[in-house]
Amino acid sequence: MKKVFVLAQNIVSPLGNTAKENFEALCAGNTAVAIHNDVSRSPVPFCAALMDPAFFKNTPASFTPFEALTAASMADVIRQAKIDPADPDTTWILSTTKGNIGLLEGQPVTRELKEAVGLTVSARKISEYFGFKHTPLIVSHACISGTLAIITARRILETGKYKTVVVAGADLITRFILSGFQSFHAVSEVLCKPFDANRNGINLGEAAASVVLSTVPSAEADRITISGGGVSNDANHISGPSRTGAELYMAIGRAMKEAAVDAEAIDFISAHGTATIYNDDMESRAITLAGLQSVPVNSMKGYYGHTLGAAGLLETVIGIESLKQQIIIPTMGFETPGTAAPIHVCSALTKTPAKAFLKTASGFGGCNAAIVVVKSVKG
């Protein structure tokens, strides 16, 4: 089985335009989540992490804001990894849950507009912009999209069809998206509290994140590999997760088996941690079933909100930076333990000699995904 290396990583968010800027902001305890009064998105104030509108002023005229955000993140990793998108051994994957859905708001719905909303249109425009020769894959699978896109890229690379895959994910928070979560009474009016006894819902967020994966390692002394991945579906409910956590546990088990690691090898867990009652309870049960209840767990939702199709990628990038810097980021908003199964929620910036982490994700429709990311020293 081929090893899959991470050559470059990026985050474009309200906290910064590079992975380094974002990680430094987290270490400083900064959050992008704030209360907004924006009637174009909601008739009532809402708590979210939103991009500065100025970010979109100097983007290519042919791009929508969603496409511009995605391309900005991709441009940085392509530059870092020094890859040629036109290389026949290179392709890319787009991860998003809603893409250009915001185009349907506030204007007549025409055939042209319906076409523009299609994810294939965005993927084609971005491909042409960078000069990719291959038709990209699109992964749009609820909130596991980013994590699943990484798993998909890993499996493609293992086949030997390509040597390098760029994986990019993004989403923007529109009136349609926000109203959907509001209809579930799942949106917190204040900063969310993942895994906390007093949690009452999510914050949403806007961001893009990208990684370059390859079977050809970098020259760096520390090498990061996507060592295993697993996917499952609990078939419980369209919007409610499994009550037992057994199915996320299945995905975790598959990822750890592929990576050939046991529970003792996992130094921290980057959880989905949405701060809803049922998600966090389910994750706590799955983590316990996997024998990982003593491993430090964090959630990035208090810093970025839930960034939908970017979430799995963004949180993986933060995990990679944690391995590189040997620092585990605490869970913003967490104060009082309060999950169905007791777990070790990281509540303070922690320096540790970490070599591997587990990333978990779950989403509407009962989908679950997990990956294991490992740091090794060049030998």
- pLDDT 10s digits, 96-144: 999 999 999 978 899 999 989 999 999 999 999 999 999 999 999 999 9
CA distance 239 to 364: 5
Residue 294 pLDDT greater than 70, yes or no:
yes
222-377 shares the fold of 5-214: yes
Q: What percent of the chain is modeled with pLDDT above 90?
A: 90
Stretch among 90-94, 139-143, 233-237, 335-339 having the lowest mean pLDDT: 233-237
Higher-confidence residue: 59 or 333?
333
Average pLDDT over residues 325-346: 98
The class level of CATH for 222-377 reads alpha beta
Q: Is 81 exposed, middle or buried (0-12, 13-18, 19+ CB in 10 A)?
A: buried
The predicted-structure confidence for 21-47, as pLDDT tens digits, reads as follows 999 999 999 999 999 999 999 999 999
Q: 208-225: per-residue pLDDT in tens?
A: 999 999 999 987 756 999
Position 235 scores a pLDDT of 86
Q: Please choose, from the candidates 79, 87, 68, 94, the residue with its C-alpha nearest in 3D space to the C-alpha of residue 8.
A: 79
In the structure, what pLDDT confidence band is assigned to residue 60 with cuts at 50, 70 and 90?
confident
Residue 189's SS3 state is: coil
pLDDT band at 378 (very low <50, low <70, confident <90, very high): low
Question: Residue 47 and residue 33: Cα distance in Å, rounded?
Answer: 6
Strand partners, 372: 228, 358
Domain locations along the chain: 5-214, 222-377
Say yes or no to pLDDT of 379 above 60. Answer: no
Query: pTM for this structure?
Result: 0.97
How high does pLDDT run on average in the chain?
Answer: 96
Task: State mean pLDDT over 160-174.
Answer: 98
CA dihedral sign of residues 102, 313, 31, 12? negative
Q: Is there a contact between 11 and 20 (Cβ–Cβ < 8 Å)?
A: no
pLDDT for 236 equals: 81
Mean pLDDT of 272-281: 97
pLDDT of residue 159: 97
Per-residue model confidence (pLDDT) at position 220 = 72
Homologous superfamily assigned to 5-214: Thiolase/Chalcone synthase (3.40.47.10)
Q: Are strands 356-363 and 268-270 parallel, antiparallel or unpaired?
A: parallel
- Model confidence at 238, pLDDT cuts 50, 70, 90, reads confident
CB neighbour list of residue 109: distance below 8 Å, 6 or more residues apart: none
Residue 1 has pLDDT above 90, yes or no: no
Helix (H, G, I), strand (E, B) or coil at 274: coil
